[in-house]
Amino acid sequence: MWLKYFLAWLPMIVLAVTNGALRQGVYLKYTGELRAHQISTVTLILFFAVYIHYIIRKFPPANSLQAILVGLMWLLLTVAFEFGFGRMRGVSWSTLLHDYNLADGRIWILIPVWVAIAPYIFFRIQTSR
């Protein structure tokens, strides 16, 4: 079971990189850096929503607990990838953590929160039908 959901997480990297390219190549041209960051946060949530909804329909968890555990696994993988990849690229810890500073208008924290709760939300929607 865990391998299936691990493999299902991998395309989220492609979605995130594509979203980052949109931010740098499109949003940033027309907005400032903060607004581009905020727009890309929302678009990535939407991309992930479509993808996670598809995955949960195709490979439904057995129960609510399993859906929660899938979300927690994806949360850990996402945070580990983001910080690990960032550090590999030489990005400082302060720069990496800056995107999580709500007081500065940085809303990136919504990404790992969404990744964590979306499997459960879509599982509940699917099972309520």
- For residue range 90-127, what is the model confidence (pLDDT) as tens digits? 999 999 999 899 999 999 999 999 999 999 999 999 99
- Residue-number span of the structural domain to which 31 is assigned: 2-127
Q: What is the mean pLDDT of residues 28-43?
A: 96
The CA–CA distances, whole Å, from 124 to 47, 52, 98, 119 equal 19, 13, 33, 9
Query: What's the structural domain count of the chain?
Result: 1
Phi, psi of 99 (to 5 degrees): -65, -15
- Band (129; pLDDT cuts 50, 70, 90): confident
For the full predicted model, state whether its pTM sits above 0.85: yes
Kindly report the number of other CB atoms within 10 A of residue 91's CB atom. 14
pLDDT at 1 over 80: no
- Band (55; pLDDT cuts 50, 70, 90): very high
